[in-house]
Amino acid sequence: MFQMKTALFAFATLASAVQANHVNPDTGVVTQVLSMTSGNILSGSISVDPATTYSVSVDILRNDLGQASEYVSSVVINGISSGHCMPSGLDYDCTFHRCEFGIADVNAPSGVVEVSATFQGHSWDCDCDIDSWQCFAENTDATAAQPWVLTQGFTGVMKVTLTPLRTVTQYIYAAGTGSYTDLSQQIQGYIPVVPGHPYLLYFDVLRNDLGSSNEKVSAIYVDGNNVGSCNPIANGPEGEADYSCDFWNCPLSYNVVSPDESILVEATFTSHSYDCGCDMASWDCNSEKQLTTGQQPMEAVLRVTAVYLSTDAPTSAPTTDAPTDAPTSAPTPEPAAAANEEQDNQASFSPDAGPALDLSPGDPNAAWVMGTSGDDVYVCQETQPYCQVSKKENRNAFGKTNRPQGVVFTSVVGFTGTTSDGTWLVDSNGVLNFSEPAPGTSYLFALTEGKARRL
């Protein structure tokens, strides 16, 4: 077995590092897999749109990285080090581990992003199909009669995913010819977003048998939160807007930061019916009396626009009440889940490593601030619209929340504060301490990777 491994590895070292690049034509997501057959440093270049800012995620193949001494000691994106990555699992798992360190968003005016990773204590334990990047423990590919032809052995593999931070438009609809007089119908869909980034949502409803005062969208929900109702205004006498078949801007907007890769939007339509048909590629719509080739009958349609909030993003909804004659862009399909990909929590703070105040993700010039409101304690980045909060009912953890109003925030450096159940302070190592009165419990939190993490 050792001789076979040596022979195959000698063959693999003759090949240069493989770089596999894929750009999703619908979402603009760039995925690049970099691999090596020898050495410790894996590096490469990724072509990107120079006018786009991207969120970055890194996945490392679990390939002889099962011991404490086997890990990726450094990942560098465009010259900025993001820290180390210690994959969970065993040497021969041969699946991808999502590194949980915070990585600053990337913009490359040159159109190229340079990436590198330094591996420690690793070796060849996995073979991979370089088309699908499905990987197996060395010499165990049971799906191929000749695994040395269809797969290749690697000593290190890194997958880098760059997700555009941009406005997303999605259509949520119910197709058909039904009638819901004095009844309600709920439609729902998922809006793809980048986790941990702020978006402002706008809503436009197709004026499709919504010309009377009782015909409306009675409720819109975002991740279970009721945003409000929407009752389109008719252009003329009551009932005339039933066949308008254009999109009307609801006077609603909603700020959201999702920990997930999508936002659930639900809408409840009341007393409506099929009066319009739409082309589901262009979303041009006409009255049921004037349908053209390719237009499908629709019962209810809601257009959701998720505007990514950069530092120059708008803070209020559009002021015009005029209907939109045609949609601004085609729908963005939901991203497919990546195969063989696991996302594992990873503690990367060491009390001996010095101050742990990490400014990522977000504005690299952002500062950490803290504040208290009653018994709630908030840790935030100064420029971000969301915070981490610890509530009295669960002092051993922090959860994500929107930034509260009316709270006085001060720098975390030297912060001290009191709540009814204990004392909070940030020590000289940048560690957040909470202590209950003796003989109570104490907790320590590292302020790193954009989060307050329990130590």
Per DSSP, the three-state class of 253 is strand
Least confident of 85-89, 275-279, 338-342, 390-394: 338-342
Tell me: the pLDDT tens digits for 34-44? 999 888 999 99
Rounded average pLDDT over 213-232? 92
What is the predicted pLDDT for the residue at 324? 40
Least confident of 245-249, 259-263, 292-296, 364-368: 364-368
Listed ranges 15-19, 124-128, 263-267, 451-455; the one with the highest mean pLDDT: 263-267
Rounded average pLDDT over 57-82? 90
Look at the alpha carbons of 407, 410, 413, 415 in this order and tell me if their dihedral is positive or negative. negative
What mean pLDDT value characterizes the chain? 77
What is the predicted pLDDT for the residue at 344? 31
pLDDT > 90 fraction of the chain, expressed in percent and rounded: 34
In this predicted structure, the answer to whether residue 340 has a pLDDT above a threshold of 80 is no
In this predicted structure, the answer to whether residue 205 has a pLDDT above a threshold of 90 is yes
What is the predicted pLDDT for the residue at 221? 96
- Which position has the token pair 């952002």? 366
What is the predicted pLDDT for the residue at 402? 74
What is the predicted pLDDT for the residue at 424? 87
Rounded average pLDDT over 43-48? 92
Q: Distance of alpha carbon 96 from its chain centroid, rounded?
A: 18
- Give whole-number Cα distances, 30 to 20, 49, 223, 305, 365, in Å: 11, 10, 27, 22, 26
What is the predicted pLDDT for the residue at 383? 65
What is the predicted pLDDT for the residue at 26? 77
Counting Cα atoms < 13 Å in the Cβ hemisphere of 388 gives 23
Residue 310 banded pLDDT, cuts 50, 70, 90: low
Rounded average pLDDT over 193-215? 90
What is the chain's alpha carbon radius of gyration, rounded to the nearest angstrom?
Answer: 26
- Give whole-number Cα distances, 398 to 323, 353, 450, in Å: 43, 22, 12
- The better pLDDT of the pair 454, 252 is held by 252
**Cα angle: 375, vertex 257, 349; to 5 degrees:** 65
pLDDT > 70 fraction of the chain, expressed in percent and rounded: 76
CA gap 156, 122 in Å, rounded: 8
What is the predicted pLDDT for the residue at 21? 74
Tell me: the pLDDT tens digits for 132-177? 888 888 877 554 544 444 567 899 999 999 988 888 999 999 999 9
Residues 6+ apart with CB under 8 A from 144: 150, 151
pTM above 0.85, yes or no: no
Q: Biggest alpha carbon distance in the chain? A: 86
Tell me: the pLDDT tens digits for 356-373? 344 333 334 457 788 888
What is the predicted pLDDT for the residue at 341? 32
Listed ranges 98-112, 172-186, 229-243; the one with the highest mean pLDDT: 172-186
- Which position has the token pair 């994500």? 400
Domains in the chain with CATH codes: 2-164 (2.60.120), 168-308 (2.60.120), 356-454 (no CATH)
Q: For residue 107, which amino acid is it?
A: N
CA gap 100, 434 in Å, rounded: 24
Tell me: the pLDDT tens digits for 415-439? 888 888 888 888 877 788 888 887 7
Q: For residue 161, which amino acid is it?
A: T
Strands 341-342 and 96-98: parallel
Q: For residue 451, which amino acid is it?
A: K
Look at the alpha carbons of 394, 397, 400, 402 in this order and tell me if their dihedral is positive or negative. positive
